[in-house]
Amino acid sequence: MGMTDTIKDMFKSTPEVGSLQDLFLEQLKDVYDAEHRILESLPVMSEAATSTKLQAAFSKHQTQTETHVTRLEQVFDMMGLEPERKSCAAIKGLVTEAEEVMDEAEGNVLDAGLIAAAHAVEHYEIARYGTLRAWAETLGMTQAAKLFEATLKEENQTDVNLTSLAEDSVNPAAFSADLTASSKSSTASRASR
Ligand SMILES: [Fe+2]
């Protein structure tokens, strides 16, 4: 390398996120924020749900999410850092969507909408934890990779459980509720005309 290259290197502007380590830390903070927002949202969704099975699924995932937060704190600790949140725009949006469905729907239809919202959250988390696990492996952070893997398994299982719940009971219930509601509302709208 010539002198010019060395000088160029010296003056090369360092991007804020200049390495895989930096990217890893940013994503760790992002998912740490996401898990906190999910912790706030799950009790609200559980409260709004009609199906007792769905309420149970949400509260089970609430307990798991507390563990997910603890695991992330363990990873921060391994890095010698204090846990820090970086506002996760994606989860904010998905929580807003869940709030919208809670405003707009009710009963069994709301349950179906809540599962759809929860699926979106789980898929987001599955994507994030998959990436974090892969980066942890590349960075030689074997223990962290194992923690991400443990969380990933629980997110995947939650996703599968929600699908079964939707297909076995919630969607059919929403469909029959919808038929009743639409015949009622067409009567109501005719009456109000
Ligand atoms: Fe989680």
The per-residue pLDDT for 139 is: 95
Is residue 100, in this structure, part of any structural domain at all? yes
Residue 164 CA to residue 58 CA, distance in Å, equals 14
Q: Kindly give the distance from the C-alpha atom of residue 15 to the centroid of ligand 1, in angstroms, as a whole number.
A: 30
What confidence score (pLDDT) does residue 192 get?
46
Q: Is the dihedral of CA 40, 70, 85, 129 positive or negative?
A: negative
Residue 191 has a pLDDT of: 47
Query: Distance from the CA of 179 to the center of ligand 1, in angstroms?
Result: 35
Question: What is the DSSP secondary-structure string of 21-43?
Answer: HHHHHHHHHHHHHHHHHHHHHHH
Q: Does some domain include residue 44?
A: yes
How many A from CA of 68 to the centre of ligand 1? 5
Tell me the CA–centroid distance for residue 32 and ligand 1, in Å: 9
Q: What is the pLDDT of residue 193?
A: 45
64 Cα: distance to centroid of ligand 1 (angstroms): 7
- Kindly give the distance from the C-alpha atom of residue 62 to the centroid of ligand 1, in angstroms, as a whole number: 9
Using alpha carbons, select from 108, 112, 110, 114 the residue that is nearest to residue 95: 114
Distance CA 57, CA 60 (A): 5
Percent helix, strand and coil across the chain, each rounded to 5? 85, 0, 15
Q: What pLDDT is stored for residue 190 in this prediction?
A: 45
What's the gap in Å between 67 CA and the centre of ligand 1? 8
Low-confidence ranges of the chain (pLDDT < 50): 1, 187-193
CA of 149 to the centre of ligand 1 (A): 11
Which range of residues forms the domain containing residue 128?
A: 19-173
Sequence-separated (6 or more) residues with CB below 8 Å from residue 26: 17, 86
> Do residues 158 and 47 lie in contact, with contact meaning Cβ atoms separated by under 8 Å?
no
Residue 1 lies in a domain: no
The verdict on residue 33 lying in a domain is yes
Q: How many domains does the chain have?
A: 1
Tell me, what's the pLDDT at 111? Answer: 96
pLDDT at 97: 95
CB 81 within 8 A of CB 185: no
- Looking up residue 89, the CATH number of its domain turns out to be 1.20.1260.10
pLDDT at 6 (0 to 100): 58
Give me ligand 1 centre to Cα 155, in Å: 6
Q: Is residue 137 part of a domain?
A: yes
Contact 58, 118 (CB under 8 A): yes
User: What separation in Å is there between the alpha carbon of 60 and the centre of ligand 1?
Assistant: 11
Query: How many angstroms separate the alpha carbon of residue 188 from the centre of ligand 1?
Result: 43
Q: What is the DSSP letter of 166?
A: I
The encoded tokens of residue 43 equal 């009790």
Q: Is 83 within a domain?
A: yes
Please tell me the distance between residue 121's alpha carbon and the centre of ligand 1 in angstroms.
Answer: 9
